[in-house]
Amino acid sequence: MHTQTLIPYLLLLGDTALVQGQRLCEWCGHAPAIEEELALMNVGLDLVGQARNWLEYAAELLDDGRDADALAMRRDERAYRNLLLVEQPNGDFAVTMTKQFFYDAWHYPVLQGLAASSDERIAGIAAKALKEVTYHLRRSGEWVQRLGGGTDESRRRMLDAIPALWRFTVELAAGSENEVRLAEAGIAADPRSVGAAWLKQVTAIFDSVQLPLPKAASHFYLDSRKGLHTEHLGLLLAEMQFLPRAYPDATW
């Protein structure tokens, strides 16, 4: 039973990290400063590495001949389980950092819970990733404070970014029944605890620079855990998967 419920959870973790990493790498050559370009690329590469670890485990459990690369590059949009938040376009730097902060504030407590998983493979992957995401969260939180408490222009951009992204945070604040079952079995992070920790972290950072916290999102008509995505994912995958699909037998 756990194998069938664990696979979609591993895809959630792996696909979300992969798509967010791809979005960050789109900033290559476009970041506002060379230091930020390097930082964005480093965070993106961290996430791609984490995605590989989760997808390798998922591939082993699927046992259908596909490996992590095939899962990343040969699936169609409806087979992806990434959070809706991360597939949204980068927008300006305020949008990018707000999105990264919302994700990091969810990702950190998820990995904290997974580091204590009864599944040794999951615990090991999470413990390693937690060291990277500790830095990710600190950095993105500081950028939210810097932009929200900075100039009139930077604050205006933050005030535009928050409501544009907030509706997608419903998936961060509440997990699926499958995740609850895995948590009760000692395998996954408890989505209820994760949601509470996420909101506490976001509230603290917003309060520190008097950014308004929107009302809690309670529903969105799409559900990434069922493969129902926004129109942005298909366009992102078309670019990301072009070479592997055009030259499926190519080796490096």
- 21 part of a folded domain: yes
- pLDDT of residue 245 exceeding 90: no
Residue 1 has pLDDT above 70, yes or no: no
Residue 194: closest CA among 119, 125, 122, 102: 102
- Is residue 210, in this structure, part of any structural domain at all? yes
Q: How far apart, in whole angstroms, are the C-alpha atoms of residue 224 and residue 85? A: 10
In a domain, 236, yes or no: yes
Q: Is residue 181 part of a domain?
A: yes
Residue 189 in tokens: 């992070």
Is 116 domain-assigned? yes
Closest CA to 188 of 92, 107, 96, 111: 111
| Among 5-19, 110-124, 138-152, 166-180, the least confident range | 166-180
Q: Tokens 């366009």 correspond to what residue?
A: 235
Is residue 252 very low, low, confident or very high in pLDDT (cuts 50, 70, 90)? low
Domain that holds residue 43: 2-241
Q: Is residue 250 part of a domain?
A: no
CA distance 52 to 66: 13
Decide if 248 is inside a domain: no
Total domains in the fold of the chain: 1
Percent of residues, the chain, with pLDDT higher than 90: 85
Question: What are the pLDDT digits (tens) for 110-140?
Answer: 999 999 999 999 999 999 999 999 999 999 9
The secondary element (H helix, E strand) that includes residue 66 is none
CATH number where 82 lies: 1.20.1260.10
Check if the beta carbon of residue 97 is closer than 8 Å to that of residue 140: yes
The SS3 call for residue 75 is coil
Percent of the chain with pLDDT over 70: 99
160 falls within a domain: yes
Least confident of 88-97, 168-177, 214-223: 214-223
